[in-house]
Chain A
Amino acid sequence: MHQDLSTFLAERREDCRELVKELKKSFSYVSVLGVDAECTNIRVTSRTSSVSDGATADCGFAVRLYDGGAFYEYSLDDVKGDKKELAARITAALQVDASIKDTVDTRPLADEPLEKTFVRESDFDKYSDAQLLDFCKVTKQALCAKSDNIANAVVQLRKQRIRKLFVSSNRVLEQAYTWVNGVMLIGYREGDKLITAREGACSHLLGYVMATLPSKIDKLVDKAAHLVHAKPIVPGEYDVITDPSVTGLLAHEAFGHGVEMDMFVKDRALAKHCMGQQVASEICNMHDGAAATLSVASYFFDDDGVLASDTHIIRDGILVNGISDLESASELGTAPTGNGRRESHKRKAYTRMTNTFFERGKDKLEDMIASIKHGYMIFETNNGMEDPKSWQVQCVAEYGREIVDGKLTDNYVAPVVMSGYVPDVLKSISMISSDFEVEGAGMCGKGHKEWVCVSDGGPALKLKVRLG
């Protein structure tokens, strides 16, 4: 079943064209991005329920103007009305104080002709909110029935229906796609100890998520029962195996942010000077791209109107490509890669990651575990922080399990903070599993703001790294 394009955006398509035409009288490049994104959170906890709009709900327009030198943008709720008047309002609002004179060097923005509509299969129209609420209630009850130690249970579905329109002088692009993140979270008490544990599922199809979440209930409760006895890890350097979630976090923090090419423009990334050099062990291959796999950050064109792609970032351990938005490509004189993303129509587009992952390898996970005398397998992303300039990295995993004499034990440690120097960490990768998983439940900030949905993942990696 396909989903509909946005009626609202369709009604404004001609307004956008007219506004572009009007502003083109004063600027060499004009584009308008229209966004109509619905996000509904359906949430059931042990004691409350709610249906509300989620953080990624967004409706409005971002106008981009360029005439050499600096870029100009104006965000507004609607483009209806007199275009001459609106163009004058936009131009007046973007005036700069006379004290600011110097602008960056830029090249003209490409505007290759293209008119196309993209729609992805969706099953959202098969389920009412009431049905989804009912699903959450039933799942919550099933979860609570598993243990008296569950202090609180949360079951949540966050469904997003994204529809965008991009209009410039030569391009009219439209896209519509959906994504749903389902999560089960429990607070688990034993004695005076309280921990939280989670399991999730995500897809472009509600049906898949609703089938998958209940199948993870036993795993979730079992995990919580172990985590409540988790001990702090003894800080030190260990042989470590990362699960696909932590592998993805490493890809994201270690080299994802470092190859965002707006960081090259600002001389904020060491990777700028390391193209063509070995930065990881030769068995490593890493990608990013909205078209690289199907996950939460898969779209057809980015917020700059550039078509999605699959960028091979690290090939056989060699850094070969970065990712970029339209503006940074203009400043660097490179081709944009379809990575221009905005938190909402109200925010600037930056170079952002999409779906970032390591390619699968040839090793079996059991062989990887068997190869470790003493170490840890670490699981589930909590958060991470990059440092593209100095190549430090910090990744926080929810928990780890000790490996002793080649066997995965039930000795849980939590939380686990992995840190180190990026090339040392990546060059230490000695085995890569043949399985592969990308998880699309994450949000990524640029600095401490500009949150966008991202996915990351890959296979299990064996590496040597500092845990604390």
Chain B
Amino acid sequence: MQTMTLDGIIERIKSANGVSDFKITECVEHSYQLFFVHGKLETVRCCESEETQISVYVDHDGKRGNASFSLSGNMSEEALDKKLKQAIDNALMIFDEPYSLPSDETSDVCIESNLSSLEPKEAAARAAKAVLEANVYDDCDINALEVFVTKHILHIVNSRGVDKRQTKHSLSLEAIPTCNGESESVELFETYTLAELDEEWIKKEISARIEDVRARLVAKKPTQKIDCPVILNAYELKELFETLVADCNFATHYSNTNLFNVGDAMQSAPKGDRLNISMKPLVKGSPASSNFDGDGCGLVGRQIVKDGKVAAGFGSFRFAQYLGEIPTGVLPCIDVGAGETEIKDMLAKPHLELVYLSGLQVDLLSDYIGGEIRLAYYFDGERRVPVTGVAMSGKLSEALNTLTLSKERAVLGDYSGPAKISLEGMNIF
């Protein structure tokens, strides 16, 4: 808990010599957490935290320097003055190109969520019940479950008239569905961060994962080489598109580490669906949604990939200025345009549908996509069987040319877009 008021902090900063601009970021977190082992309560946690970060900007020698530090709750005015002086000295050693801060924007918003009207302990208990009751099999169990119900308050104030506050709620779940066979036991690892409590969705989702873990128990390593399109689900798509959009960030361009420029084709010779990707501030159901970024810059959505070609960049107020672009703010939500193929049609053709990977490796610079497959469903045109013990790899650039996007959509974390995407040319071994 801060002992100094915001006004008091601002006063100390203003009285420090040499500060051209400043930004104060306050993060407040109230969290209630439950941890279960085999359905029994193991740990109850509460977290009450307030953190303040101060950034000072110093104009000198035609350049701008900045430095930041945390203000701990116990800090005295004298200690703050000392930290400020050190930050100013550090900023004087930094010779970055000049830039301005966002200005004259104020807002106080609460991102809508049914969690705001629930007692955290009730929301946590209901979420836990939904997960634990999803299992109806004697040979299955939720071996471990963690539930986090959190209220986040972010408040940003700067010297140019920005004063923005945002309140968000989130529900995070980590569940380990497990299936116990006669000689073997297998599990899946599932993690979700949700913007709402939707017990029916949770039950349905966990039930589906329990069916998957039952499949994992009987999954076998294929006896013959598999050669067919690979279908990615939302977990993998999140990884894939996070990598792709990072290349369009103004900061990446300013550091000269981008692969694509505006007008370049991400899909060089598309034989399938073309990609359309937008960055957005708010997506319903996405816990990443936000009204402003870490600079307090209001967010403006932008389409960054159109028909497979890079259409625009996006990014912070500072790096937009450096590049002579219109700032969008650091947009948090990735929105990928859906296709026209229904999932049932996608699944009707031979395919390998990934359910659980060690972790999808996507490397734009090495032109690589791949990973170890822990559970997938292989459909050879007649039979759908669970498989395990194989890996896949391929050239990312070639895979992007072969996409089939599902008509149905999904939201997962910062990703919203086709629920499934099929790609071809992967080496499964």
Q: Which residues of A contact B (CB under 8 A)?
A: 8, 11, 36, 45-53, 57, 59-60, 69-78, 80, 90, 93-97, 99-100, 102-104, 129-130, 133-134, 151-152, 187, 189, 194-196, 230, 232, 235-236, 265-268, 327, 331, 346-348, 383, 385, 387, 389-390, 392-394, 396, 414-415, 417, 419, 421, 447-449, 466, 468
**Cβ-closest 3 pairs across A and B:** A97-B125, A394-B358, A419-B372
Measured between alpha carbons, how far is A44 from B125 in the docked complex, in Å?
47
By a CB distance below 8 angstroms, the chain A residues around B370 are 417, 468
With both beta carbons as reference points, the residue of chain A lying nearest to B180 in the complex is identified as A267
Closest A residue by C-beta to B144: A266
Bound together, the chains give a CA A322 to CA B221 distance in angstroms of: 30
B211, CB-defined interface residue at 8 Å: no
Q: Which residue on chain B has the smallest CB distance to residue A390?
A: B186
Instruction: Given A59-B70, A133-B93, A235-B391, verify A74-B46 contact (CB < 8 Å).
Output: yes
Chain B residues near A95 (CB-CB < 8 A): 121
- Chain A's nearest CB lies how many Å from the CB of B194? 15
Q: How far is the CA of A236 from the CA of B429 in the complex (A)?
A: 8
- What A residues does B69 contact at CB under 8 A? 52-53
Interface size on B, residues (CB 8 A): 82
Question: Which of B11-19, B36-44, B378-386, B414-422 lies at the binding interface?
Answer: B36-44
CB distance from A167 to the nearest CB of B (A): 17
A-chain residues with CB within 8 Å of residue B42 when the two chains form the complex: 70-71, 103-104, 327, 331
Given A78-B73, A100-B128, are A130 and B90 also a contact pair (CB < 8 Å)? yes
Find out whether the CB atom of A383 lies under 8 angstroms from the CB atom of B359: yes
Known: A70-B43, A73-B43, A415-B368. A187 touches B257 (CB 8 A): yes
A residues less than 8 Å from B391 (CB atoms): 235, 417, 419, 466, 468
Q: How far is the CA of A383 from the CA of B95 in the complex (A)?
A: 34
Asked if B47 lies at the interface with its beta carbon under 8 angstroms from chain A, I say yes
CB distance from B369 to the nearest CB of A (A): 11
Determine if B66 is an interface residue (Cβ-Cβ < 8 Å).
Answer: yes
A346's nearest neighbour on chain B, judged by CB, is B47
Smallest beta-carbon distance A433→chain B, Å: 26
A327's contact among B43, B89, B257, by CB below 8 Å, is which?
B43
Q: Please, could you name 30 A-B residue pairs with CB atoms under 8 Å apart, sorted by A? A: A11-B74, A50-B68, A52-B55, A53-B53, A69-B41, A70-B43, A73-B43, A73-B44, A74-B47, A75-B48, A77-B48, A96-B41, A97-B124, A100-B34, A100-B41, A103-B42, A104-B37, A104-B40, A130-B89, A195-B366, A266-B143, A267-B185, A268-B176, A331-B42, A348-B45, A385-B372, A392-B374, A394-B358, A419-B372, A466-B391
B257 touches A196 (CB 8 A): yes
- Indicate if B333 sits at the interface (CB-CB under 8 A): no
Distance of B410 from chain A, by nearest CB (Å): 18
Q: Give the CA-CA distance A236 to B393 in the complex, in Å.
A: 11
The listed residue with most A CB atoms (<10 A of its CB), out of B66, B72, B429, is B72
A232 touches B368 (CB 8 A): yes
- Interface core residue of B49, B367, B427 (most chain A CB under 10 Å): B49
8 further interface pairs, Cβ-Cβ under 8 Å (given A48-B96, A134-B93, A235-B429): A46-B255, A78-B74, A100-B125, A102-B40, A235-B393, A389-B186, A449-B191, A466-B391
- Shortest beta-carbon distance from B25 to chain A in Å: 11
Inter-chain contacts of B144 with A (CB < 8 A): 266, 268
> CB-CB contacts of B106-142 with A at 8 A, as 1s and 0s?
0000000000000001101100110000000000000
